[in-house]
Structure 1
Amino acid sequence: MSQQHHFELKVPGGKLVVADITTDAGEITAAKISGDFFLEPDEAFFEIAAALEGASTSEDAAALQTRIDAALRPFGERLALHGFTTADIATVARRAITGATDFSDLDWEVIHSPVLPTPVNVALDDLLLRQVADGQRGPTMRIWEWEDRAAVIGSYQSYDNELEPAGVEEHDVTVVRRVSGGGAMFMEGGNCITYSLYAPESLVAGLTYEQSYAYLDRWVLAALKKHGVNAWYVPINDITSDGGKIGGAAQKRRGRAVLHHVTMSYDIDAEMMTQVLRIGRVKIADKGIRSAKKRVDPLRSQTGATRAEIIDTLLETFRDRYGAATVELSDADLAQARELVDTKFGTEEWTHRVP
């Protein structure tokens, strides 16, 4: 039985690309590509849809792009694409086939958490991800608040390799292991900005893992631009700018849901950070310790804005773009998160699961 698929992609800094795809028995039987882009010569336009027809629905975006590029190659130097690329066409086609949703297709809620201990914030990520996966909660964006000093390490990092015991003790640092991979984050209360997205997996369907990071944080880059920060993604998961690295992202996928969270430095104490975290030799082999302390450039120095002002901009940007409603964590949510701290995130077994 044939199925109809539709997806629209606004290329960052470019034009709108729309794919209407018909599939049957695991094959693309008809394709229509449209949008407000510019393309020359005119006859090249019709070769794009023809190139997609006959492709297997299991082909990824790279394979679809190869088909499109081959179809357009005969046009040689006469070919000009403005406001989009063949990679964009392949991505929107793949997103259509996989039943992807865009941010604007979902009914979002935003939470600005009360001040909570870092272990509770980490536990909430696990809890809210599970709630979205189980259909108990809709898509949600949450901004953290905390006042303790913590080191949040990735799910697969070695405790001993990532932390300086003397620094952890001297600076009274709480060490928490999160559910996502990635690197360690030094998080002082009031000196970082951290947010989490909890969404159905359809939001990243058809995207590579690397593409999903940049896609999920487009709204953040737009918000930072309002404060004069020209920010972009450095694959896989770093956010940087003209002034230097701002922060990093991590993800965890569970069931039919995805957790994507980001910590950005607002006014980090780089000296203390290097006393608490062991900066991997491989990471800094060509830079040296002195440069390592400057790897993260705080938003305070880049914007001159207060942390609260930047958070307000993040909330405003998200609400304006996606029509999100503001909600609060329930007493039941907080109780379940604290229970998770007692049974998992605050335990030696979990914290030292990779010694």
Structure 2
Amino acid sequence: MTLADREWRLITEETWHGPTNMALDEVAARTAAADGLRTARIYRWGPSTLSLGYNQSPESVDWAYCEDEGITVTRRPTGGGGIYHDYTGDISYTVVAPADELPGDLMDAYHVLCRPILDALSRMGIDADYVSESMPEIHRPACYLRELHPAHDIVADGKKISGNAQYRQRDAVIQHGSLSYSLATDRHLGAFSDPPAPDEFEGRVTSIRDLTGISRDDAVAAVENALADWADADPGEWRDDELADARDLAAETYATDAWTREKTT
């Protein structure tokens, strides 16, 4: 299943504030449900951002460190642990399509939507695949250090290189994910309260740069081209009404303390 016979737009890499990135995913879901326009997008987080899992305790965050280091904190609509999205070290993507066009089984849907990510890593010269068996957690609050799951955790050289999460909203499926271009170990761990030692992190996580040495621009191009080929997507951009809706949604939800600091369930 490629979904390539449907109407897709590819929004190439752009930089947004953390709460706006989450709002844009939700707005893309509204568009997919209402208009049938599917979206594949690549983006970075500026400033660098810690995105918390939906049910993650705010007590797992070192708020003082994040404030001192200029790290934005927001919360995702997806579960799992927190991800530090470094402005340089992270490459993020989202794929949004109508729910009735994807398998109802969660693992099957993951494997459809992760296909271009595995292809992108292959284009970079990286032999990556889903983790073959569960690996024990090191630090539960951190996504990359949680127990690894064969459904959606992608590893290379025995270490995690990409994490992916999925949710359904407004009759659409939203899958977003993160690929590690380079490791910012100290900042990644510093964003969490009571983090593990750096060598534990680097023993579990790897990066595109460590494995290949290619430039970030080339890595981003590989992701964009893999998504474009997988979906047969046309170059696209956000409509003005979508951007306005995303700004409102970010301000009303994803940038608020009620969503990020006070939400615990």
Give the TM-score normalised by structure 1.
0.65
Computed over aligned residues only, the root mean square deviation of the Cα atoms, in angstroms, reads 2.1
Equivalent residue in structure 2 for 1:219, among 95, 116, 122: 116
Matched, 1:201 2:109: no
Matches within 5 A, 1:290-309: 290-309=199-218
- In the alignment, is residue 166 of structure 1 matched against residue 75 of structure 2? no
Residue in structure 2 matched with residue 254 of structure 1 by the alignment = 169
Identity of matched residues, %: 30
Q: What is the rounded CA distance, in whole Å, between the counterparts of 1:264 and 1:199 in structure 2?
A: 21
User: Larger relative CO (CA 8 A, sep 6+): 1 or 2?
Assistant: 2
8 A contact 1:144–1:194 mirrored in 2: yes
Shift of 1:215: 2.3
SS in 1 for 2:206: coil
**Aligned position for 2:42:** 143
Asked if structure 2 preserves the Cα contact closer than 8 Å seen for 1:147 and 1:190, the reply is: no
Write out aligned runs for 1:1-355 (5 A): 102-133=2-33, 135-160=34-59, 162-206=60-104, 208-234=105-131, 235-242=150-157, 244-278=159-193, 290-351=199-260, 352-354=262-264
Q: Is the 8 A contact 2:4 2:233 kept in 1?
A: no
Q: How far has the Cα of 1:213 moved from its partner?
A: 1.6
Query: What is the letter of the counterpart of residue 206 of structure 2?
Result: D
User: d(CA) in 1 for partners of 2:19 and 2:91?
Assistant: 16
Report SS of the residue matched to 1:305: coil
Deviation at 1:273, TM superposition (A): 1.0
Q: CA deviation at 1:318?
A: 2.4
Take 2:187 and 2:226, find their aligned partners in 1: how far apart are those partners? 32
Structure 1 residues not aligned, in runs of 5+: 1-8, 10-101
In the alignment, is the contact (CA less than 8 A) between 2:49 and 2:74 conserved in 1?
yes
- The SS at the match of 1:268 is coil
SS in structure 2 of the partner of residue 328 of structure 1: coil
State which structure, 1 or 2, has the greater radius of gyration over its C-alpha atoms: 1
CA distance in 2, matches of 1:305, 1:170: 31
Distance 1:327 1:240 in 2: 31
For residues 236 and 279 of structure 1, do their structure 2 counterparts lie closer, same or farther at Cα, with a shift above 3 Å needed?
farther
Q: Structure 2 CA distance, aligned partners of 1:146 and 1:166?
A: 20
Specify the SS of the correspondent of 1:105. coil
Q: 1:346 Cα deviation (Å)? A: 0.9
Matched positions, count: 246
Query: How far does the alpha carbon of each residue in 1:75-134 deviate from its partner, in whole angstroms, 9 at most, with x for none?
Result: xxxxxxxxxxxxxxxxxxxxxxxxxxx42332221112532212211111111112212x
Output the TM-score relative to the length of structure 2. 0.85
CA distance in 2 between partners of 1:170 and 1:223 (Å): 35
2:49 corresponds to which letter in structure 1? A
Cα pair 1:245 1:297 within 8 Å, conserved = yes
The letter for the 1-side match of 2:28 is L
The 2-side partners of 1:298 and 1:279 are apart by 24
CA distance in structure 2 between the partners assigned to 1:255 and 1:347 by the alignment: 22
Q: Return 5+ residue gaps in structure 2 as ranges.
A: 132-149
Q: In structure 2, give the amino acid aligned to 1:354.
A: T
Quote the Cα distance in structure 2 between the aligned partners of 1:194 and 1:188: 10
Question: How has the CA–CA distance of structure 1 residues 175 and 139 changed in structure 2, closer, same or farther, with 3 Å as cutoff?
Answer: same
Deviating beyond 6 angstroms after TM superposition, the runs of 4 or more aligned structure 1 residues are none
Query: Take 2:100 and 2:194, find their aligned partners in 1: how far apart are those partners?
Result: 36
Q: 1:327 is aligned with what amino acid? A: G
Deviations 1:21-42 (A, max 9, x none): xxxxxxxxxxxxxxxxxxxxxx
- The letter for the 2-side match of 1:308 is D
Q: Secondary structure at the match of 1:239?
A: strand
Aligned position for 1:72: none
